[in-house]
Amino acid sequence: MPELPEVESVRRGLAHHLAGRRITDVRTMGSRVIRHSPAGLGEFIGQRVTDVVRRGKFLWVTFGGARTLVAHLGMSGQFRLDGGDFRHTRAEFTLDDHVRLFFVDQRTFGYLAADTLIPTPDGAPGGAGTHLAAVPARVAHIARDPLDPAFDVVPFAVSIRASRSTIKQLLLDQKRVSGVGNIYADEALWHAQLNPHQRGRTLQEAEAYRLVEALRDVLGAALKAGGTSFDELYVNVNGESGYFARSLRAYGRAGLPCQRCGNLMRRDVIGGRSATYCRACQPLRRRVGQ
């Protein structure tokens, strides 16, 4: 599933091409892509785009009013501009400059939905790409991400240090911190030298803050590289792949030497999700102070 760097790369591409453009037509192919908006997306025809916004893994398009178009890419969703006959097209938008934008989704877990903007509880902008202190109702439960200027480190650190869950599971909880999935959770834990099995309540305060810094460093570096592409299921709006895969230190490296200490990397399953780490330089501590 695309994570923060991939979705932000898509958002930036969309903002470049959509800002100020008017939608002149919308077509959807099948009911699954609009399963959360069975009445369709016709209300956006004739509307002019003001912003393209992201929080965590969610995107939304604003039009200067209370109604907004929300997009979630799911496992394989893509936005693609004119340039070919795209297989697995689920929706097509035509703009007033005659450019067409396609929502393509092979595995059909992604969706498009009409929604209403509601105020953000903290009064800060809803996400990357807007100054408006509002967020779609269906996105309101999603926490801010580590690259968001309004992300508050202190309550995040307090919440994870109070939890009995493993820190790998905590990083994947989008209600605590958004935009992080398996790839960047493994990478951040490797950089912070923290074991994914370690319980949140065993973290020392300094370790919690070190984890946040590792998240910011990894996500920022991946964003500069355009995200991580392993196959054709993630590309940006121009069809270009991200190249952060060549910088991965943990994810996908089970059985290979750790690039810090040389010991073999290990892959475990935690809470139904894989975790790749080095047992030598990411040692497990069971209690604070050990």
Per annotation, catalytic residue among 3, 6, 8, 187 = 3
Q: Is 146 a catalytic residue?
A: no
- Global confidence as pTM: 0.94
Per annotation, catalytic residue among 54, 55, 57, 161 = 57
- Blockwise average pLDDT, block size 10, the chain, 290 residues: 92 96 97 97 98 98 98 95 85 96 95 98 97 98 97 96 97 97 97 98 96 97 87 76 89 97 98 97 74
Q: Is 175 a catalytic residue?
A: no
Per annotation, catalytic residue among 22, 100, 267, 273 = 273
Please state the domain extents for the chain: 4-139, 153-277
Q: Is 5 a catalytic residue?
A: no
Domain 153-277 annotated CATH 1.10.8.50: yes
| 3-state helix/strand/coil string of the chain | CCCHHHHHHHHHHHHHHHCCCEEEEEEECCCHHHCCCCCCCHHHCCCECCEEEEECCEEEEECCCCEEEEEECCCCEEEEECCCCCCCEEEEEEECCCCEEEEEECCCCCEEEEEEEEECCCCCCCCECCCCCEEEHHHCCCCCCCCCCCCCHHHHHHHHHCCCCEHHHHHCCCCCCCCCCHHHHHHHHHHHCCCCCCEHHHCCHHHHHHHHHHHHHHHHHHHHCCCECCCCCCCCCCCCCCEHHHHCCCCCCCCCECCCCCCECEEEEECCEEEEECCCCCCCCCCCCC
Domain 4-139 annotated CATH 3.20.190.10: yes
pLDDT at 230: 65
Q: Is 43 a catalytic residue?
A: no
Per annotation, catalytic residue among 2, 5, 146, 196 = 2
